[in-house]
């Protein structure tokens, strides 16, 4: 054998060994550290670990970085802690669950694939996702045609550019045609919609927190579900409830939804036979917007420091009972809405008369539609809102007063009907009383200052003489 052939054989053998060795080594990812210097971080392929596990196995992931994407097609439990990170650089979901009986718990997912790819996509029923930390440049959790899912105590954050448009973002938790599911205790920030539900029945959305999103909760065509004890702040809209019936929206708190001309605490659009109770909407452009909705019971809600407390458009046959309107610029406005029943609500801007001391005013409170009718004809008149002339004209306006939406029995003081529904609803009574207390304090201080000023002027006048 000549030397050239021997050299070729040795080169082939060495190359083969290198290829085999590389196949046995973990994947390495080159990144930049805080100083901008490149460093290598080892990533372990996760799919072989999944493939080698038996059905029903419990896999405890050791500390380290694991490379996705991963497909799970059998029942198993995958558990980690905050030292475990699964990262995915591809334009598909980091973890795709296509089986029943899968549980994910405790680790971090970094999803760099863009929308519509998600950190976790579920197409199997009876799965549970809990205690995950998800940072995503796409969507968070997508659930499709999968019943009885449990999504609990996860943190989901937008990891893309802060300047990203709505079309570049995905939803935090997104359910479609997925019935009997529970979404509880999650914290969501910066995504498109925090929780999006569509075409699903008997879904429970409870005790979640969300901020800096478009819609905190977005419900489309759901039935027999409940949205309870959630907290939203700084979103464009706290809860967008649309095409819904037989649903309970209770004990939620929505604050500071005011950044957009369409911002509101709660929007009810095409909502029927539902209960909206014991919610607090505070500091929003519109506290509660009710449009084309009928036969709903809206009671024991606190509407505080909103520009408009409640706004009704084309809504009929709704019952408003024992709600509390405190420090709103406009308590309520109505357009083309009839046969709505208002009773025993508290209006802090209304001076009633309680002759028999039963806590109910003998004088009714009618919602004057003058301002809404005027600006609907010419929006420029909004510039004169609360001007002396506008207030004077509004007081003179009485046309069609018999048809105005009227509370025939206003409450003379704040009454919380359902203190046991949630801690939030109970706190509102305290907040409202604090508002009244602060108002009284400000008035007393003002009177004292006025008296002091008058005394000083008199004294100075006498002294000069």
pLDDT for the residue numbered 319? 95
Is the pLDDT confidence value at 435 over 80?
no
Q: Which CATH class is domain 28-213?
A: mainly beta
Q: What distance in Å separates the CA atoms of residue 211 and residue 78, rounded to the nearest whole number?
A: 29
Instruction: List the single range of 64-68, 91-95, 178-182, 355-359 with lowest mean pLDDT.
Output: 355-359
Average pLDDT over residues 149-171: 94
Residue linked to tokens 């997104």:
174
Q: What is the pLDDT of residues 260-282, one digit of tens each?
A: 888 999 999 999 999 999 999 99
Q: What is the pLDDT of residues 316-329, one digit of tens each?
A: 999 999 999 999 98
Q: What is the pLDDT of residues 127-141, one digit of tens each?
A: 999 999 999 999 999
Under DSSP, is residue 458 helix (H, G, I), strand (E, B) or coil?
helix
Average pLDDT over residues 358-372: 78
Average pLDDT over residues 428-438: 47
For residue 273, give both structure tokens: 């036979």
pLDDT for the residue numbered 357? 85
The domain limits of the chain are 28-213, 255-391, 437-465
Q: What is the pLDDT of residues 291-305, one digit of tens each?
A: 999 999 999 999 999
For residue 154, give both structure tokens: 């996860």
Report whether the peptide linkage leading into residue 338 is cis, meaning its omega lies within 30 degrees of zero: no
Is the pLDDT confidence value at 380 over 50?
yes
pLDDT for the residue numbered 105? 98
pLDDT for the residue numbered 369? 62
Q: What distance in Å separates the CA atoms of residue 8 and residue 20, rounded to the nearest whole number?
A: 18
Average pLDDT over residues 156-181: 94
**pLDDT tier at 447 (50, 70, 90 boundaries)?**
low
Task: Report the percentage of the chain scoring pLDDT > 70.
Answer: 73
Is residue 174 within 8 Å of residue 143, measured between CB atoms?
Answer: yes
Average pLDDT over residues 359-376: 72
Residue of 108 and 3 predicted with greater confidence: 108
Is the pLDDT confidence value at 410 over 60?
yes
Radius of gyration in angstroms for the set of CA atoms belonging to the chain, rounded to a whole number: 30
Helices and strands in the chain: count of H runs, count of E runs: 5, 42
Is residue 129 within 8 Å of residue 104, measured between CB atoms?
Answer: yes
């Amino acid at each position: 054998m000549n030397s050239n052939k021997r050299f070729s054989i040795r080169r082939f053998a060495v190359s083969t060994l290198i290829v085999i060795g590389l196949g046995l080594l973990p994947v390495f990812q080159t990144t930049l550290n805080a100083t901008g210097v490149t460093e290598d971080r080892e990533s372990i392929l996760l799919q072989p670990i999944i493939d080698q596990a038996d059905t029903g196995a419990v896999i405890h992931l050791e500390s380290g970085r694991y490379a996705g994407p991963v497909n799970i097609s059998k029942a198993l439990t995958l558990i980690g802690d905050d030292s475990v990170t699964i990262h995915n650089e591809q334009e598909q979901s980091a973890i795709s669950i296509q089986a029943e009986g899968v549980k994910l718990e405790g680790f971090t997912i970094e999803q760099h694939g863009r929308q519509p790819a998600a950190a976790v996509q579920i197409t199997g029923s009876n799965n549970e996702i809990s205690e995950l930390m998800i940072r995503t440049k796409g969507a968070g959790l997508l659930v499709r045609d999968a019943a009885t899912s449990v999504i609990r105590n996860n943190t989901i954050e937008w990891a893309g550019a802060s300047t990203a448009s709505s079309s570049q973002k995905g939803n935090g938790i997104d359910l479609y045609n997925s019935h009997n599911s529970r979404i509880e205790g999650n914290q969501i920030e910066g995504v498109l919609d925090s929780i999006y539900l569509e075409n699903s029945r008997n879904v429970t959305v409870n005790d979640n927190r969300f901020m800096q999103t478009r819609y905190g909760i977005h419900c489309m065509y759901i039935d027999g579900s409940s949205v309870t004890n959630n907290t939203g702040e700084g979103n464009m809209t706290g809860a967008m409830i649309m095409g819904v019936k037989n649903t309970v929206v209770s004990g939620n708190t929505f604050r500071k939804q005011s950044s957009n001309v369409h911002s509101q605490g709660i929007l009810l659009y095409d909502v029927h036979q539902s209960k909206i109770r014991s919610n607090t909407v505070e500091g929003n452009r519109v506290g509660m917007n009710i449009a084309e909705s009928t036969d709903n019971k809206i009671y024991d809600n606190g509407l505080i420091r909103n520009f408009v407390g409640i706004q009704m458009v084309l809504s009929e046959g709704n019952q408003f009972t024992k709600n509390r309107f405190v420090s709103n610029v406009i308590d309520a406005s109505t357009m083309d809405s009839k046969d709505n029943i208002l009773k025993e609500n508290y209006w802090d801007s209304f001076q009633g008369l309680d002759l028999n001391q039963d806590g109910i005013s003998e004088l009714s409170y009618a919602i004057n539609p003058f301002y809404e009718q005027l600006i609907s004809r010419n929006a420029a008149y909004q510039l004169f809102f609360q001007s002396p002339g506008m207030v004077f004209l509004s007081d003179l306006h009485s046309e069609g007063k018999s048809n105005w939406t009227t509370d025939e029995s206003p409450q003379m003081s704040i009454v919380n009907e359902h203190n046991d529904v949630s801690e939030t609803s109970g706190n509102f009574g305290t907040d409202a009383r604090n508002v009244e207390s602060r108002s009284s304090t400000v008035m007393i201080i003002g009177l004292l200052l006025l008296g002091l000023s008058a005394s000083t002027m008199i004294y100075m006048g006498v002294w000069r003489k």
